[in-house]
Amino acid sequence: MFEETTSVIKQKCEKYGGEGAYENAVNATIKLEQCLTSFVNFTQLEIEMEKYKPTGDLDIVFKNYCQKTPILKQCVRNFTTGLEPCLEAKERENKEIIQNITNSLLNFVCYKEGDRIALFISANGPECLRSKQQETLQCINSTLGNYMPQLEPNSESLKTIDSLPFLVLGNKECTVSSSQSDNRSMLDDVNDNEVDELTQQEAFEEKLKEAIDGLTQKSAKGRTICFNGMEKIFAIKYIPDFVEDRKMTITDSVERGLKKGRSEEQSTAARLSTLLCVQLGAFESAEIVCRDLKSTLTFIASDTTASTQARSECCWALSMNQFLSGNDATATIEIMQLLSSIFSGSYLKGNGAIATISSEVAALHAAAISSWTLLLTVMAPADIYNLLASDRTNSYMPSLNRLRELLKSPHLDIRLSAGETLAIIFELGRDFSDDYEQDWSLDLIEILKDLATDSNKYRAKKDRKQQRANFRDILRYIEEDIVPEMHVKFGQEILYLEGWCARTQYNACCRLLGPGINIHLAENHLLREIFHLGNKVLPISLNQKTTKLERTLMNAAAFKARTIQRNKNRDKRSAALAP
């Protein structure tokens, strides 16, 4: 029977591939066997598994084999190429499918360098498969068996080409044809979804690894593309363990991009440094990484020969990195001094004239002001009260009079940033003392009223609208002590932001993460700690969800509690402001 089958296969090869096709296919099969033998010695593998299984270190065994998977993939490609002449036209179209199946299987087995297969064996997976051997064979026979010729062992039909199975994996063959598949349980569907998610995760991590490798290429444009790709992924995904394992490689690439790159590459590298801190927030290494990059970011931010775009992003990176992972008050003051020296170019001149600067420089100054303001939010109210005052100056902070001059800038971004800065200063100062700069604020209120009602035609209509909206909120707070509020709904939770400090911190995170802010609020431990969200909330099952009436009563109770608390604070401050 073996000789007859071999003869039929040879006939098929000669029919579709011509003379010599069968010999090439045999040689390809022999080479595949040799490749598999060289790839893994099953006797040696079994010895290694028995050695490491008691200690739970099977991943060490499979890591070595998984590193050689590119060799095995090439062997399969060579085999399919050698076998291709023996196939019909439709069968040849399936060559790529076979390669994809092999690649997917290897990627599945070698997920996280062999962790998955090690866990499978440790959990007695092979024993489970052996116990289900009969059911597995029955499942295969009930599906793929429908596409195999049904032959008797001594049948004459064995001697014809038609007796061979048709090697096609199309929609029909890949569709589950067994009636038992149509009656699967919900649990089976869930398991399939989990496998799909794991496969997607593997593909995602492979792409991210390629981007990390691309950061070392010679092409500046190619490096910038990789930086942008990683920036987008880090913004919409929370993968701290993956990043922790590769933090040194990414940090070195970021530092190299900052030092040797130009404007766009430096900008993306600066943003990626902050996203690296966001990802590593759960680890102590976040502080180390930010500290290592601080000197390079400081140099570029203060370098007048660098592009204003790169300097702006470095200002933001210095501020955000310190905000996210810096615990050193001295380092905070140093960064704030650097930032204030940058935006000091927008102060009024000695004769009271308005400084003339380009729109690019104005964007840099606005970024420096906003970055400086973000670091204000982490300072103690007592420090704000003592360092920032209208009647004193010091080497650490600009005076309130100087900051007020920024409101006269012809550039909208500078005016808006300066207004927000003054609102935060008053919020922190009043937290320490209700009468903070009460007399000085009277002159400020007049300036704010002009900006909140500005109707000058030489300003763009959109700029006037944005300015009036922002400064109305600032005026309402400084004059009437009405605190701004924001409600952010994400998933099953709602984030309540009360006050200028919380609002500024949230806006800074939104600038960095964009649409990914909701994902990080739900999953990122660092952001949940910053915004006092507590531990991660687990999904609520259908039978545990609250009813509409219960949600209404809970919201009403929360609203009542907030109103009582605010009224107490307002009464206290109103009494302090009374003549």
User: What is the three-state SS of 308-346?
Assistant: HHHHHHHHHHHHHHHHHHCCCHHHHHHHHHHHHHHHHHH
pLDDT at 368: 97
- Tell me how far apart the alpha carbons of residues 249 and 227 are, in angstroms, rounded to a whole number: 13
pLDDT at 449 over 60: yes
Cβ atoms 65, 40 nearer than 8 A = yes
Q: Which residues contact 406 (CB under 8 A, 6 or more apart)?
A: 343, 346, 347, 369, 414, 415, 417, 418, 421
What are the structure tokens assigned to 127, written together? 């024993």
pLDDT at 168 over 60: no
pLDDT at 392 over 90: no
Q: Which range is least confidently modeled, 11-20, 28-37, 261-270, 293-302? A: 11-20
Comparing 65 with 231, which gets the higher pLDDT? Answer: 231
pLDDT at 173 over 60: no
Residue with token string 């444009």: 221
> Once rounded to an integer, what is the mean pLDDT over residues 11-37?
77
Buried b (16+ CB within 10 A) or exposed e, 343-374: beebbbeeeeeebebeeebbbbbbbbbbbbbb
Name residue 389's beta-bridge partners.
392
Q: Which range is least confidently modeled, 25-29, 145-149, 290-294, 545-549? A: 145-149
> In this structure, what DSSP letter does residue 455 have?
-
What are the structure tokens assigned to 82, written together? 């050698």
Comparing 278 with 86, which gets the higher pLDDT? Answer: 278
Cβ atoms 537, 493 nearer than 8 A = yes
Q: Which residues contact 216 (CB under 8 A, 6 or more apart)?
A: 223, 253
Q: Model confidence at 148, in pLDDT bands (50, 70, 90)?
A: very low
pLDDT at 477: 94
Q: Report which residue type is found at 502.
A: A
> Once rounded to an integer, what is the mean pLDDT over residues 54-59?
64
Q: Which range is least confidently modeled, 18-22, 179-183, 482-486? A: 179-183
- Tell me how far apart the alpha carbons of residues 124 and 29 are, in angstroms, rounded to a whole number: 33
- Tell me how far apart the alpha carbons of residues 440 and 14 are, in angstroms, rounded to a whole number: 98
Cβ atoms 493, 527 nearer than 8 A = no
Comparing 270 with 150, which gets the higher pLDDT? Answer: 270
pLDDT at 194 over 70: no
For the stretch 299-332, pLDDT in tens is 999 999 999 999 999 999 999 999 998 778 889 9
Q: Which range is least confidently modeled, 220-224, 270-274, 562-566? A: 562-566
pLDDT at 179: 41
Residue with token string 């990390």: 212
What are the structure tokens assigned to 409, written together? 């800038």
pTM for the predicted model, two decimal places: 0.63
Q: Model confidence at 113, in pLDDT bands (50, 70, 90)?
A: low
Buried b (16+ CB within 10 A) or exposed e, 416-429: bbbbbbbbbbbbbb
Q: Which range is least confidently modeled, 238-242, 293-297, 559-563? A: 559-563
Length of the chain: 579
- Tell me how far apart the alpha carbons of residues 414 and 567 are, in angstroms, rounded to a whole number: 34
Residue with token string 């010091």: 394
Residue among 446, 447, 444, 463 at smallest CA distance from 455? 463
Q: Model confidence at 126, in pLDDT bands (50, 70, 90)?
A: low
- Tell me how far apart the alpha carbons of residues 239 and 230 are, in angstroms, rounded to a whole number: 12
pLDDT at 276: 96
Distance of CA 462 to the CA centre of its chain: 33
With pLDDT > 90 as the criterion, what percentage of the chain qualifies?
Answer: 42
> Once rounded to an integer, what is the mean pLDDT over residues 91-101?
67
Angle at 371 between CA 535 and CA 481, to 5 degrees: 75
What distance, in Å, lies between the first and last C-alpha atoms of the chain? 111
